[in-house]
Amino acid sequence: MLIQRSDRYHSTMFSYRHAFHAGNHADVLKHTVLIATLQHLTEKDAALMVLDTHAGAGLYRLDGDYAKTSAEAADGILRLTVPGAAHVPLAPALQAYIDLVRSFNAGSNTKIYPGSPFIIQRLLRSHDKLKLFELHPSDMRSLSGNVAQLEAGRQIAVLHEDGFEGLKKFLPPPSRRALVLCDPSYEIKTDYGKVLDMVQDSLKRFATGTYAVWYPIIPRPEAHDLPRRLKTMAQKAGKSWLHATLTVKSSKITETLEGQTKRPGLPASGMFLINPPYTLKAELKDALAQMVQLLGQDRNATHTLESGS
């Protein structure tokens, strides 16, 4: 498989590459929630359509140039897959995530990390559909090549377009069952507003769909406003919601002994779902507590889990 291209695309518009962050603590949260959600949604026989608005390359090498540059997986998935990482049985939701990632790797070393498209594809049945949107030219080439080798035929569509706009033509789906995963980079501030517009529009088009939004928890007003506004949106629409966050370290900028400014990197992230599976909160309760235990980097490590209807 192509896994990911090693060429760099020098454009401010397309500067974000998920390959730098593959397998980090935010992916652990996002993909644990995604797997638990999909496992529930695929229990019903009726066909499911899944739409991934920012698909990325699909597969990532953790020993490749990008991942080694940031080494974020070392404090994410690699903490969970090293032999003897957990001294107690893991929560089923967290164990399901680790098992799925391991299924992409031979032996005990985790060298390949599956992005959302490949996690989703593993869990779909033959009559389900997957729509993948990706704008970045290099990631699009990698994604297309990786998906082609699955030989999934018409089950998977790879679309070189803006997912915020592209998903509109698929809602409502013929089967009247859909999961939308939205996890943009948020490097461009307007992404926060686009997420809110997308969810608002999608709820009008298809009120019973499940909408899952990942976002970074960083010192930026838009990042703090996003879950609050999604919650208001869900309540006004009379829809159930769930909000889970994972913090692994302090967000404070510190200075080294040499007087250099040290930025902490991403300290926390959240997942906000509208119309989540009713089983999800109970499944995440123990999984989040274990993520704090296993991924926490300082005494600020914590989690939150709330829901409403």
43 labelled ligand-binding? no
> Chunked in runs of 10, what are the mean pLDDT values of the chain (309 residues)?
41 49 96 98 98 96 68 92 79 97 90 96 97 94 93 93 97 97 94 98 98 96 97 98 97 67 83 98 98 95 97
User: Is residue 183 part of an annotated ligand binding site?
Assistant: yes
Q: Which residue of the set 183, 197, 286, 298 is catalytic?
A: 183
Peptide bond into 264 cis (omega under 30): no
pLDDT for the residue numbered 13: 32
What 3-state class would DSSP assign to 181?
Answer: strand
The pLDDT value given to residue 106 = 87
The reply to whether 31 sits in an annotated binding site is yes
Query: What class, spelled out in words, does domain 18-251+260-308 have in CATH?
Result: alpha beta
Active site residue 63: no
What integer pLDDT is reported at residue 7 of this predicted model? 36
What is the C-alpha to C-alpha distance for residues 242 and 248, in angstroms, rounded to an integer?
20
145 annotated binding-site participant: no
State yes or no: 54 annotated in a binding site: yes
CA angle 97, 249, 280 (to 5 degrees): 35
Task: Give the per-residue pLDDT at 63.
Answer: 83
Rounded to whole angstroms, the Cα distance separating 23 from 295 reads 12
| Distance, CA of 112 to chain centre | 16
